[in-house]
Structure 1
Amino acid sequence: MKKVAIIMGGYSSEYQISLKSGNVVYQFLDKTKYEAYRIHIFKEKWVYVDDTDTEFPVDKNDFSVTVKGTKINFDVVFNAIHGTPGEDGLMQAYFELLEIPQSSCDYYQAALTFNKRDLLSVLKPYGIKTATSYYLNFGDDINTDLILKTVGLPCFVKPNKSGSSFGISKVKTKEEFLPAIETAYKEDNEIIIESFLDGTEVSVGVINYKGEITVLPITEIVSENDFFDYEAKYLGKSQEITPARISPEMTAKVSAVAKKAYEVLKMSGFSRSEFIIVDNEPHMLEMNTIPGLTTESLIPQQAAAAGISLTDLFTNALELALNK
């Protein structure tokens, strides 16, 4: 039986969501095939947590744990860390050096997709449309008039490398702009400022399922709030409609763009891309490579609509990792 380390937690504001995702993976993993271990990764400690909540330290030299005198090495890692260090390439590079297979994409793809600016810059030459944007690094001079002339109002101010909508503001007036910059800088030292796209928001999961790149049924996002923020994502302040209420032609168009992005980037594992459809053209906002895996999350919803159970979804991810 293969020993699986399910890594969860992380160093960012998303750690609590990651713990939920990791525990869902632990709950639904096929226990006839895999012996699962919950590994909590935090800045202050890396520990294996057993079913009695007893903690055993992880030896970072070889990513092993010793339990009651027995050393345990892992055959494969299921990565459920949203944000750093699980979604930005750090853990992927670490496991590649240790030659331990893991379920997410490779380190380069993780680092690239985690950086919204770089991701969109790479995809633009392939005809994938995006919002008009402006970038700032911490310490840059802020020319409010120039920036707002470039992107217009309303606009979005976002941390460049962050998830779960932490630090994002929708700016409607010039007076709201500098406070939004301050909010974003609390999450990241790079900021992306984007024009407001007025259209239908959809989320598209793409996975390698049984060796074939597969686009899952598309989810339409209808937020009660100004945008698909933390409350909308996790506290029920949105409608998530799967399949999306878009035409078959638009479904095919969005699916093709999402699949193209997956293939262009030489992705593996899970991906969930966010688009806003404006004038019959999908505009990409971002791509998540460690999307939420709680029972309420979008990828599990989309998999269910495709007839794929959570156990099948997680088993498939591990089998692909082991066969890489």
Structure 2
Amino acid sequence: MDLSELLNILALQHIPNLGDNTAKKLLRHFGTAEAIFKEKKHNLLKINGIGEARLQGFHNSDHFKAAENELKFIEKNNIGYSYFQDQDYPEKLKHCFDGPILLFKKGNIDLHQKKIISIVGTRRISSHGTAFCEELIEELSPLDPVIVSGFAYGVDITAQKAAVKHRLQTVGCLAHGLNQIYPKVHKRYMPQVEENGGFFTDFWSTDNFDRNNFLKRNRIIAGLSEATIVIESAEKGGSLVTADIANSYNRKVFAVPGRPGDLHSKGCNNLIKSQNAHVLTSAADLIYILNWEIEKTSAVVQKQLFVELEPDEETIVEFLREQGKAQLDTIALNCNFPTYKTASLLLNIELKGVLRPLPGKLFEVI
């Protein structure tokens, strides 16, 4: 689309009373956002579901001023975008009634003819949940699935790091504009994610950072994929909202069962008990329910025994094998590397699946 129509779509998106579903009705009826703004009010009101309240402030010039500023941000930062009627708009999201009219993106995302799954769960993932998530993605890697998540703490980042490790595409759905990242500590993973997939959001650079944004972005996580997997979840939480949305879209939902008394398994156990999720105990469950085809010889991937490390990376790994857990400064001092170089090396080794970060800024070999 040309920049003039993009400006009009942004202005339409800025109107607070419309929402994505109503905006889609208008766009399908009148063809373009420019035509909508040129249409007389009484003709707009003829559209089913369009009332006076939704058109309040419709022709306010502030919508175009805001749109012009956002368009400058998009152009300056080389932000990609997909319009809901365009060919490159995610196919599965097209079938969601509340999918965004405009989806902003960064990276190298290619969802064409791909198997896509979303993996969500608690931000306080256990060692058992971490191991299950990593093993699941390893077993699924021969099918080359796209791993979608929210780039948050816990299950999200565990799944996305595992995807990078196995050279799978991974997509982080953000609850804010592409001018920032949350949590900030995950900024170090952004280059690898963008190289192996990227980021989606429907929020502007000017949108306030708000808790409700996370609930809103969950519809994109659920809508992009054919199945949503909940690894661990407390009795209440955003991952359960994502599972509910996925069910409303008539997508498959899977939950990893846990011990009855485990707080982080309550949400998953309740999903299974209420028949709102399939039981997931291994990749085989997912493959069977989704009717994915896989060669018998590659159904389970053998764990990698030998990982190719650079000499400096090998130095750090050998130190950690002897030392056990150690902090970044300690590693840098004992291995005779500058701190900035040590941090970069640790990230590379982590993404190769050889070590993992621990609370207290500690690292250990897996």
Is TM more than 0.5 here? no
Q: Find the structure with the greater CA-based Rg.
A: 2
For the aligned pair, the TM-score class normalised by the smaller chain equals under 0.3
| Structure with more contact order per residue of length (Cα contacts < 8 Å, sep ≥ 6) | 1
Q: TM-score normalized by structure 2? A: 0.22
